[in-house]
Structure 1
Amino acid sequence: MNQSQLVLVLVVVLGSLLLCLVSGNDGGATTTTTTTTIGGGSSKVLKMQESLAPSTMSYARWKGSIPRPLKEFTLCYRIKMYHYRPEVVVFSYINTNNENIRTDHNRKGVQVVATAQGMRVDTGIITPLMHWTAFCFVLAHDTPLTFYHNGLKWEGEKEYTEDDDDDDDDLVRVKKFDSIGNSPNASQVLLDVDGTIVLGQDQDAPADVYDVTQSFSGELTDLNMWSRRLEEQELADISGCRTRGHGDILDWDTADFELGSDVSKVEMDLAKTCKVVPLPYFMFPDQLQISDAHSLCAAFGGNVVAPRNAQEQEVVYKLGEESKDQCAKEGGPLMWLGITDEAEKGAWRYYSSGDNVTYTNWAPGQPNGRSFENCAVLKGETFLGGWTDQSCKKSYKVCVLCSLKMPVFLRFRGICDSALYDDRFVLVGKIQGKPYFKGYYRSHVYFTVDRTWRLESILKNNTYAEMEDDGSLSFPVGRHQWTFSHGFCGMAKGESQSLTFTQCAKNIEFTCDDGTCININQVCDRRVQCPDMSDELDCSTVKPPKGYQTTLPPPSLTQESPLPVYLNITLNTFSSIDAIKNRFTVELMVRMIWKDQRLQFKHLRRDRQLNIILPSEAQDIWVPTVDFLNAENNQHTTVDADCKITIERQGSPIGDNIEHSKEARIYKGEDNYIRISRIYTIVFQCNFNFFYFPFNTDYCQMIFRINKNTNNYVTLEKYGAAIRYQGNDQLAEYTIGGVKMERLETDEPYSGLVTHIQMKHLYTTQIVTIFVPTTLINLISFATFLFKWFDFQNRIMVSLTALLVLSTLFSQISGQLPKTSYSKLIDMWFLSSIVFAFLTIIIHTIVEINHHYNSPTESSKFRPPSPTTISLPRKVVPTTVESTSHNSMLFLRRNKTFNFKPKNPGHLPALINKVAYTLVFTAYIIIFLMFWSVAFSQKIAEDKKVFEVKETEVTGYPA
């Protein structure tokens, strides 16, 4: 052996020793070069399920073997997915003990499972379709999962991503796990020597038993495995596609695989597979008005492009140049720019935010349009991407490049059968110069050579739907009518139905007809927010289910008890109280509140006044009917244009149903109250009691009873105090003392409530017009006793006049009161007054009868005889000649003998007059006091009766 050979041997030996020293603790495996810088060249790519049909023959089984048991390892690869499956297994390991490790890229996010260690991590990172994406995983027995995605480390934090229908909200489920070694039964070994590795399928047994629903459809490259944990920078560089990995366990460049029949191997440029972060732009080579350009970009969740620096300017210009044949022949405008100076001339601002423009690339002499050109475009070859101002008129049409958040996820709303068509899509490229959309599982949307948009099933031939031309922009985003080649969603073949293709966030945003998004809380709020005003269309509130019957009352929430209908009455005014006709007229607000768990409601708001059910809608739902039982003409509650029906939102919205074309916040009927209110003017009957008139207090009723439905099905319940009066307490003739409501007790099987109204008659007028005049007349009548007792003519005239006046007044008052079978207190008053007036006349007459005159012709106006008594002997004829004034006396003396006694002839009538006056007036005073005692005692007793109402106003809704 010469010297050179000896040196070579020493180098090899030293190199081997060095490798042994730096080897890990896992059996002394050697470490090769980890990464190489990515430059030109290509790499092999495995294409699985190019036919897009699920298959168990799309697999790649590694022919190598794991050299020793591994307690830790690193796995990296890049994939481009064609379609999702329920589980998309890219990497699968299983040993003879059925201990499994797999990576799953389903539509909910990347999931890593290691069954032996009891580990299952849902990262929530969505793998987009038709885009290259890079991943690195570090698994170790003593640390949690380390995961890198497109150069970024997953921190295990919650984040919002594209949602799915199986979850109640849009929050991705993320689980953090402690160190695997902390698990009592956790194995220290992750990969054992008896395990097999298969790509593209989940192994239920080593290299066997596959399931098409767990297969991978797409392209796979640069899958490498290391027997150690790569450093953080290495993971970032490999997953960011800045360097290529070369695993010491499995090296993609040298690894040998057994391929299934549905797998092909091709060489592909590394640069193409390394576009793991797609540019956030999409070019629409269609010339549009500036307003349509903004709407189109907004419909895809972005804005019209506006470069913010020189690097973005260069990228944007290159993308525009690719479409110059369609957009900018002879150096014309390539695309609109998202800036404007319309608000203030010369002050250019970003259209999306209103902020001042921070970067410009104006062509020489630009902008020069003064107040006529308030928009901007990016020019082509002539200006080499320079900017110029441009008029915003509708006649100017330019292509548009949208700045988007890639990848763009979209959803079809209105798809009722997901077995034929997907409801989720991704914008993945162009076909026929138009956007191309890939469905998650089994369909795609593209622009055909016949210039129509088609939604087509990939798995079933000649199964498609085509968008009808409605005169809008030639893009499927937004709400359009689609015609199916077959019967779909209960509609016949060729019958169109509404579908919405949208990127708006589920449960958060509403899709306008043009595809733009607004907050869902702004829908049907009586203010237009959509550019096409479609947010205020179809604002019906009620959604009756199929088979709903308005004649059947809703079931109660407990199913065993009747449905409670809560009644609340507000008495506004008493229009009239006609006690003579036993009725009163009242204006009242009737409110009824109930729940109908059969219904659903849309777009409910906190403000009940915005949750209106139109009378036309109310005809299609059950509304309770309440009879006004003691009202004239058999009146009851009605549903008409004067009704106001609202919904009190109390529950939370249920999950959005994407089978409906329009987004809506849907609320269950069992959680929210229906409230109907209407003002009625009703004439109620009431039996007024006039015994104590005008000091009477009456109690009238208003009886409300459920119509048609017995109390086994519907009951009428009080809502709060159920009744309140907010009008003027003091009316023309009555004062409203109080109101209260109680349950109606009847023998009939219908539920009802009865309102009691206390009406206190006002007696001031009657005192002034009845009692004061009658009292004065009685006093005048009694005053005749103070006349000279022998002045019969004046005494009798005054007394008769008083009696006549009392009789006339009594007749008038009696005519104003109803005819009753019982006597009234006022009748007794007039009767006593008339009786006393009559007694006065009788007494005056008796006094007159007992008044003895000197001669038969002497009247009461002559002076009574002298109190001296003259006694003449009988049969003695005076001898003296009598004067002429005594002729009558002479005649009597000749024919009869008189014996004149010395008595006073006025003593008896004066005595009768005096005694009678005392007795009558005393009796009058006694009856007067008794009358007013009875009247005021019962009045005071009635005034003490106060209706105790605990609640006069209702602030909440029944529990």
Structure 2
Amino acid sequence: MESRVFLPVLLLLITLGSNSTKAQKDNEVLVLGFNGDGAQRISTWAQYGRAVRAAGDYTLCLRFNIWVFRLLTAVIYLLDQTDIDLDPISFEVYFEKIRTKYGGLARFYPLPGNLATNKWYHYCHVRDMTRGEGRVYLDGQLIVRESYAFQRDPYVRNIIVGQDEFQMKYSLSGKLSQINMWNSILPEEQILSIANCESNLEGDLIAWSGKWQLYEIKEERVPLESLCRSVSRGLVTVKVPFLRYPKAVYMCRGLGGAVPTPKTLAELRKVKKVFEGDQGCIRQWAGVSDAKEEGKWLDPFTQTVIPWSDIYFRKNNPDGNIYQNCLLMDAEGLEDTDCKKHSCAACFTVAGRTWTLRGICEEEERMYYLDLVPSPLSFRGYGEYAVQQGAGGVWAWSNIITNTTMATLSQESIDLNYPVGRLTWNLQSAVCHQESGPRVLTLSACNTSQFTCSDGSCVDFAKRCDLKFDCDDKTDERYCDIINFPEDYRSKLPPRPASDSSLPIALDVTMDTLNIDTTTMLLSVSYNLRMTWFDNRLTFNNLKNLTRLNTVSLDQVAGLWRPHLGFINTDDIQNTAVDADAVTTVVKLDQTYAPDLSNPYEVEVYRGDTNPISSTRKYSTVYTCNFDLVLYPFDIQFCYMKLQILSASSEYLIFNSRDSSVEYLGPTLLVEYGVGRIDLRADNATQFAVARVRVELIRRYGYAMLNIYIPSLTLLVISYVTLFFRPSIFEVRVMTALTSLLVLATLFTQVSASLPKTSYFKMVDIWLLFCIVLIFLIILFHTVIDLHVDYVALPGQAKPGHAVTWAQTLTGSAGGVRALKVRSAEDGDGSGDEGRPDFFRRFLAKKDKFDLEFYIAASKITMLLIFAVFNLIYWGSLLRGSGLVYYL
């Protein structure tokens, strides 16, 4: 009974197992390995079992993994059976680009990023004759779409893989899989599905499962999904040799990794398993220390404090106090010990990271890059180079193709036999035109956005030369010269633009203070003058977005060409100066740069024709001004700062008026003037280009109004009021007017003394002269009025010997006596008209009264009319083109 039950169960298990094995095999794909040792061979290649013909539309897809990049890596070629050079269909790999040939059309295509070694990529290209398009996909993403009128392909083709016309230097070193070709256009969704290992669709023209003729090729079958897992994911372990804790940390940090600190017993056992069976590493470091502060366990790789609860301590540990600050891995947990002891360490670093060997001069970028090989520790190049330990444990940089040692690591400048970081090597072969001798090289795992410290650790490249230390060894602030001078650079010759036109120089004038002296006609200015120009002969290193960090050292400024300007409207003809007060910077306008891999100190090189140089200096200069004082004190003056290029004529150097500017930062209201518009104008038509900064100055007339116009108007009113005095007090009227005239003359003299002497009248002169003339006319009117007044004694006050023959009372508004005519008793009536009739005497009395009133009224009206007409003309003329209305 039991056997009856057991037999069917056994058969079922066998069936299920076979089905499982079959399913597993169905999910596996064939992978072909070409030249796994990196050597170049013409004997390693593959050919598809039959010829094909792709006359119309087609889709060609494959998966590739490069171990060593050649100058050109041959992948696949569909060649005409009769003439292999006749319009091939092919795919070739370069380090930074790929090349696709559709048959009659060949194109290079740049890639989103450089390719990496030991990493799978999926490639497809489509010839769409219906739409007249060629399309290229990388990892399922469309990177190229171009239009082309394809013709039908009449050729019968053989499929060759891994060789290009069997030229050894182009032979493939890597892996290939899933080479398929369809006699149709695959949808983008299908291409993406294949790229993501979601399907394993085979072609009808070329099928990967078809028959292939293989020559010196290694075959293996791997799970399909493994082809979609980048080798850069995950970690690899490097065994750090028997070292003290600081040295072990130093070495692991340079490798871009970290020494782990177990949190659990399972993690502890996993890490210790790295050195299982290694008798030379019976002790093993953990990755934390409390050497800086007792009781605070610091991770040196992340600079974070690890809580005690996250550290799997051995029972009764730590117990070493300040004498034991590092941790060793024991089978039962972590125990503290002296950091000066020697132990091994497991350094976990990212797999697939690209390493760079800087300081060598290569035309091909691929030659600078390497991969880390964890055990034994070495570095295999993307091209023909390798860095590995040779005889006697000496590290060597060598060409594995030509079997040539390029350089060996100098043992004199290091205390750790370790090639990572910025170190001195001894050249054995010519490198960068240097035949032999010491040369600095940098082997680093830092990416393009990072800077390599001398110990191999990485910091953000933005922290390079930012005026503060970020590397532990402080090397990020060394070799910070910005300018690269070519050998034929001449600091006396100005740059010449590529168009062979004149070099434009932009000016930026920032004025801090202004001071104007009207008497001497001088403008004193304190200002920052910045000159900006391009020098296409230069290149610049490591430019920052913050311009002040791009300051050029004085040593480099001394060898730099700079424009020389003269301040031509100064008394002593001053010039621009280059001294300790002058600051020269480079302005980063163009974000594009080229990494200079031949420089071991890691620089980003920026072009000189797209990033300008700027020189700034503070000046305090006195400029002469030609004032036009006709409208004083309501004048608007224009003062000029005239700057002339002295370095060369306008045939070579001109001002860039479009990018030039002027700015005033001081107060707009000065003591005498208000600052109006300020502009900068360039004149490049003269023999030497001239830039003029025009400063508009509007005089503040408050002082003149208070000290000239209002006092003079007051004196004028006082003089005019004397016309209303009684005609009988001639002395009072005249003395008042004369006093006003004298005060006004004194005021006139004072005003003239405070202004420059001019040959023309100023508006204030016209006003004061008008006031003087008007008072003079008032005095004349007083004289005329007095000639028409006869003085007689008031009633009861006639002198003895006189008799009042007649008296005519002139009644004023108050009814008082205005004038009396007095005659002598001996003379009769004193008028010589004794014999005249009474009516005639009455007529003469009336006539005297009429003349006196007429002249008094005429003087008042005339003076008022003259004053009104003059003011209308005077102030009306100031309403245009003057500063009278500026402050209203």
The CA distance in 2 between the partners of 1:808 and 1:768, in whole Å, is 16
Maintained 8 Å contact 1:596/1:670: yes
Residue 390 of structure 1 pairs with residue 336 of structure 2? yes
Once the two structures are TM-superposed, the CA of residue 655 in structure 1 deviates from its matched residue by 3.0
C-alpha distance 402-812 of structure 1, shift in aligned 2 (>3 A):
same
1:543 shift after superposition: 3.0
Distance 1:742 1:528 in 2: 45
Q: Which amino acid aligns with 2:334?
A: T
Contact 1:615 / 1:639 at 8 angstroms: preserved in 2?
no
With over 3 angstroms needed to count, the CA separation of the structure-2 counterparts of 1:654 and 1:828, relative to structure 1, is closer
1:565 matched to 2:505:
yes
SS at match of 1:768: helix
After TM superposition, the structure 1 stretch with the greater mean CA deviation from structure 2, 699-708 or 909-918, is: 909-918
Gap change, CA 1:472 and 1:841, over 3 Å in 2: farther
Question: Paired residue for 1:759?
Answer: 697
Q: Pick from 293, 314, 328: which aligns with 1:377? A: 328
Matching of residue 804 in structure 1 with residue 745 in structure 2: no
Q: 1-side partners of 2:139 and 2:297: how far apart? A: 42
Q: Distance in 1 between matches of 2:97 and 2:728?
A: 126
Q: Partner of 1:628 in structure 2?
A: 567
Correspondence for 1:827 among 749, 752, 765: 765
Per the alignment, residue 470 of structure 1 pairs with 413
1:553 matches 2:494: yes
1:480 matched to 2:423? The reply is: yes
8 A Cα contact 2:680 2:694, kept in partner: yes
The 3-state SS of whatever aligns with 1:584 is strand
Residues 171-250 of structure 1 aligned to structure 2 (within 5 Å):
185=153, 202=163, 204=165, 210-215=166-171
Deviations 1:241-260, CA, capped at 9 Å, x for gaps: xxxxxx997999xxxx8x9x
Counterparts in 2 of 1:883-922, with a 5 A limit? Answer: 918=857, 921-922=860-861
Q: 1:88 to 1:805 in 2, by over 3 A?
A: closer
Contact residue 705 and residue 716 of structure 1 kept, 8 A = no
In 2: Cα distance, 1:442 partner to 1:280 partner: 23
Letter in 2 for 1:761: R
Given the superposition, is the C-alpha separation of residues 355 and 346 from structure 1 closer, same or farther in structure 2, using an over 3 Å criterion? closer
1:924: Cα distance to partner? 3.8
Contact 1:504–1:511 under 8 Å retained in 2? yes
Is contact 2:80–2:157 with CA below 8 Å preserved after alignment?
no
Partner of 1:500: 442
Aligned to 2:240: 284
Other-structure match for 1:14:
none
Match of 1:538 in 2: 479
Helix, strand or coil for the counterpart of 1:670?
coil
Aligned-partner Cα distance in 2 for 1:250–1:831: 117
Change (3 A) 1:596 1:449: same
Quote the residue 1:194 is aligned against. none
- Map of 1:295-374 to 2, 5 A cutoff? 295-306=250-261, 313-314=268-269, 316-321=271-276, 323-325=278-280, 327-328=281-282, 333-337=283-287, 352=302, 362-369=313-320
Q: d(CA) in 2 for partners of 1:216 and 1:547?
A: 43
Q: Measure how far apart 1:502 and its partner are.
A: 1.0
Q: Deviations over 1:235-290 (max 9, x none)?
A: 99xxxxxxxxxx997999xxxx8x9xxx9x9xxxxxxxxxx999821112131334
Residue of structure 2 equivalent to 1:516: 457
Larger Rg: 1
Alpha-carbon distance, 1:216 to partner: 7.1
1:145 alignment partner in structure 2? none
Please, which runs of 5 or more residues in structure 2 have no aligned partner?
1-21, 26-32, 54-61, 128-136, 181-193, 199-208, 219-229, 808-823, 835-840
Post-superposition offset of 1:416: 1.5
CA deviations on 1:689-744 (whole Å, 9 max, x unpaired) are 22232222333333333333333333323347934445433322223343344444
Distance (Å, rounded) in 2 between the aligned partners of 1:126 and 1:312: 32
Q: Secondary structure at the match of 1:298?
A: helix
Identity %: 22
Instruction: Report the equivalent of 1:733.
Output: 672
Equivalent-residue separation in structure 2 for 1:812 and 1:361 (angstroms): 97
The 2-side partners of 1:704 and 1:510 are apart by: 44
**Aligned equivalents of 1:846 and 1:113: distance in 2?**
118
Change in CA separation of 1:109 and 1:296 when aligned onto 2, cut-off 3 Å = farther
TM-score computed with the length of structure 1 as normaliser:
0.64
CA distance in 2, matches of 1:934, 1:136: 91
Counterpart pick for 1:415 among 340, 352, 360: 360
Q: Is the 8 A contact 1:281 1:401 kept in 2?
A: yes
Q: How many angstroms apart in 2 are the aligned matches of 1:349 and 1:569?
A: 53
- In the TM superposition, residue 614 of structure 1 has moved relative to its aligned partner by 4.7
Q: 1:762 Cα shift?
A: 2.4
Output the CA distance in 2 between the equivalents of 1:87 and 1:842: 113
Cα distance in structure 1, aligned partners of 2:684 and 2:548: 36
Conserved? CA contact 2:532–2:613, under 8 Å: yes
Greater mean deviation of Cα atoms: 452-461 or 861-870: 861-870
In structure 2, distance between residues paired with 1:836 and 1:120: 96
Alpha-carbon distance change, 533 to 678 in structure 1, aligned in 2, over 3 angstroms: same
The answer for the alignment partner of 1:938 in structure 2 is 877
Q: Which residue number in structure 1 is paired with residue 687 of structure 2?
A: 749
| 1:778 has 2:716 as partner | yes
| Cα distance change of structure 1 residues 322 and 251 upon mapping to structure 2, 3 Å threshold | farther
Matches of 1:810 and 1:136, distance apart in 2: 96
Deviations 1:509-542, CA, capped at 9 Å, x for gaps: 2211111122323333445433323223333333
Deviation track 1:66-109 (CA, whole Å, cap 9, x = no partner) reads 998899xxxx999997x764457799999965779999998789
Is it true that 1:580 corresponds to 2:562 in the alignment?
no
Q: For residue 251 of structure 2, what is the amino acid of its counterpart?
A: L
Q: SS of 1:476's equivalent?
A: coil
Q: Aligned AA for 2:542?
A: H
After the TM superposition, which residues 75-114 of structure 1 pair with which residues of structure 2 at under 5 Å, given as runs? 85-86=70-71, 97=82
| CA deviation after TM superposition for structure 1 residue 402, in Å | 0.8
Count of matched residue positions in the alignment of Structure 1 and Structure 2: 774
Contact 2:655 2:684 in 1 (8 A): no
Q: Distance in 1 between matches of 2:528 and 2:763?
A: 37
Q: What's the CA shift for 1:500?
A: 0.8
Structure 1 counterpart of 2:58: none
In the alignment, the residues of structure 2 paired with residue 388 and residue 815 of structure 1 have an alpha-carbon distance, to the nearest angstrom, of 96
Q: How far is the alpha carbon of 1:659 from its aligned partner?
A: 0.9
Q: Do residues 769 (structure 1) and 707 (structure 2) align?
A: yes
Q: SS of the residue aligned with 2:240? A: strand
Distance, in Å, in 1 between the alignment partners of 2:733 and 2:773 is 17
Could you give the per-residue CA deviations for residues 871-918 of structure 1, whole angstroms, max 9, x where no partner exists? xxxxxxxxxxxxxxxxxx99x99xx9x996568999999988766655
Question: 2:57 maps to what in 1?
Answer: none
Deviation for aligned residue 1:863: 11
Contact 1:339 1:357 in 2 (8 A): no
Q: Select 1:682's aligned residue among 618, 621, 625.
A: 621
**Hey, what's the Cα distance between the residues in 2 that align with 1:626 and 1:604?**
27
Q: How many angstroms does 1:477 deviate by? A: 0.9
The amino acid across from 2:350 in the alignment is K
1:782–1:917 contact (8 Å) kept in structure 2:
no
CA 1:901–1:398 in 2, change beyond 3 Å: closer, same or farther? Answer: farther
8 Å Cα contact 1:644/1:677 also seen in 2:
yes
